[in-house]
Amino acid sequence: MDIVIPLFDHFEPLDAMGPYEVLAYLPGATVRFVTATPGMVQDALGSLTVRVTTQYSEVERCDVLLIPGGSSRRVMMNDPDFLDWVRRIHAGTRFTTSVCTGALVLAAAGLLDGLSATTHWEAITELESYGAVYTPKRVVRNDRIITSAGVSSGIDMALQMSALLTDEVTAQAIQLYTEYDPQPPFDTGSVAKAPAEVLERAKTLG
């Protein structure tokens, strides 16, 4: 099982590493990071660099394509060659997925036109400008296309996809092994629940 995650400078780290942690435990799975020019790729927070050795153009097919978000999405969205590659790879995937603003890359490639989808709450208007229908859910599935909301929701998406790729027992075992049992200290994890002052402060973080 070949899983491919494109990484470009200023990627959101948990968008990529959360699903990677889950999907790498799938029996027989290989997770590959790819980029435009092999070398060191910097995350959005400025302290993490990842050495990526594979050029995305070298990949002709994969079982799962997972697009993370972050400001790196702009590079992907504005690169016609990359968007062409996404469309070609999508034609042969079992699942094409996104985390957070990675959904905008799928939308820019024309894969979400007329479909329900989710993304980070700050990107709703932009997502809909590409013809997608925003749905305020943590994970949204349209057959082979699965989008997930902001940052941490990629873990939920990866676990759901793990069940689809293998079986529910395997997915549940991965959830148990990683001890993914969220008990957040505050009930402000969505726009619907966050007080106005928290929402305003959150807008300064991106």
Residues annotated catalytic, as ranges: 100
Q: How far is CA 167 from the centre of its chain?
A: 21
Q: How far is CA 14 from the centre of its chain?
A: 9
The structure tokens 């948990």 sit at: 14
DSSP label at 189? S
Note whether 50 and 41 are within 8 A (CB): yes
Name the residue among 93, 120, 37 with its Cα closest to residue 109.
93
Residue 18 parent element (H or E): helix 13-23
The Cα angle at residue 186 between residues 126 and 124, in degrees rounded to 5: 5
SS3 203: coil
